[in-house]
Amino acid sequence: MSHIQLHQLCKTYDQSTFAVEDATVSIEKGEFFILVGPSGCGKSTILRMIAGLEGISAGELYIDNQRANHLLPSQRNLSMVFQNYALYPHLTVEENILFGLKVKKVKKLERKKRCEEAAKLLGLTNYLKRKPRELSGGQRQRVALARAVVSDAPMCLMDEPLSNLDAKLRGHMRTEIRQLQRKLGITMIYVTHDQVEAMTMGDRIMVLKDGKVQQVGTPLEIYNKPKNLFVATFIGAPPMNISKATVDRMNSQLLLKNDLIIPISNEEVRQIKSDTVYIGIRPEQISRGKGESRDVDFSVQLSNVEVLGNETLLSFYIGEDIWKAKWLGQWPLDLNRQTNISFSIEKLYLFDGDTEKTVISPAWNETVLKEVLSVESR
């Protein structure tokens, strides 16, 4: 059995609606596992149930092969880093780091040794005698991490720990936390609503919506093979372009409201059960100018152009829907002129118009990609 296992885990507060419903997943030892989703999706509730801070309404939780539903938090052998860091303002950095060890009555010499090691690891050696109010946001975050490190717990739970930091510091701390997890080899379960954090930090991701698990997989699996429309639009920046289309089975094509026609194969038509589909294309898959034989070409009037230095985001209407294109380089195009753009049909996603489940997604060879990454890392 895996290090941590959730089996049909449920949480309800009023016995009629579920904050979490039938969450099932196995988290391996030493894995960096991400819970991601919009506010109110149940990700923090799952984390708190694992920690023992929330009761479990139904289902089972196993930690190291032991059923942990009714274990006290102190019996679960884990540490936790909260969103607000939860530091004691009247204690020094050193006292904050060692607070948990004092409660556990760890010997003084051992406490000092662990504190020095954690402070050195996280660059806090020169701040041990300061109070939290004398520290920056990033330094307070490191103190909270150091407190988790000195516990020597094999599992660490983190509840949106970077949400209070500015964008630049958040990017820096992402790298630090990931490196720390790899160095210590601990199992880390990390809650975030930021899909960039999920994509860049996690070994695997669980995407949640309305208390239900939508998909579990590696970042590349989630990005390239989303199981439904929600996952496809939630993961990716900018999000996937989506429009509803009617299926013309007789002519093997999809019809959009603005008279855009997308030809598809007879085999693809047979895979579509509904009379309507949602078509999806990633902004980075839309090119400038006319494409090749299997490409869809169309002319649009740009509604907005954002030149971001090394890339440009362009917005335009497809029917009533706003689409975006993401091009490398600087393209300060005129908003009043028509622009020819195209995308390959091979890159198109199709989602069932009724169930919103993925019907067709572009071919993606994970084995080849892993081999390429392996060669590049040598």
CATH code where residue 121 lies? 3.40.50.300
Residues 168 and 293 in one domain: no
Q: Which of 175, 195, 224 is the last residue of a domain?
A: 224
Residues 166 and 87 in one domain: yes
Q: What is the pLDDT of residue 206?
A: 97
> Is residue 286 in a domain?
yes
Residues 201 and 294 in one domain: no
DSSP label at residue 357: B
Q: What is the pLDDT of residue 306?
A: 94
Contact 136, 58 (CB under 8 A): no
E strand spans, 153-203 = 155-159, 187-192
Q: What is the pLDDT of residue 289?
A: 82
Residues 206 and 276 in one domain: no
Residues 114 and 251 in one domain: no
Contact 97, 85 (CB under 8 A): no
Q: What is the pLDDT of residue 172?
A: 85
Residues 280 and 173 in one domain: no
> Is residue 296 in a domain?
yes
> Is residue 112 in a domain?
yes
CA atoms within 13 A on the CB side of 190: 29
Q: Which of 171, 199, 224 is the last residue of a domain?
A: 224
CA distance 44 to 191: 6
Q: Specify the number of domains making up the chain.
A: 2
Q: What is the pLDDT of residue 314?
A: 94
Q: What is the pLDDT of residue 365?
A: 57
Q: What is the pLDDT of residue 293?
A: 61
Residues 269 and 171 in one domain: no
Contact 195, 235 (CB under 8 A): yes
Q: Which of 158, 193, 224 is the last residue of a domain?
A: 224
Residues 85 and 157 in one domain: yes
> Is residue 377 in a domain?
no
Residues 43 and 181 in one domain: yes
- Give the number of other CB atoms < 10 A from CB of residue 119: 22
Amino acid at 359: V
Domain that holds residue 343: 240-370
> Is residue 345 in a domain?
yes
Residues 166 and 263 in one domain: no
| Residues with pLDDT less than 70, the chain | 1-2, 258, 291-294, 365-378
> Is residue 375 in a domain?
no
> Is residue 234 in a domain?
no
CA distance 190 to 108: 31
Q: Residue 83 in 3-state DSSP?
A: coil
> Is residue 40 in a domain?
yes
Residues 148 and 33 in one domain: yes
Q: What is the CATH number of the domain that holds 245?
A: 2.40.50.140
Residues 98 and 132 in one domain: yes
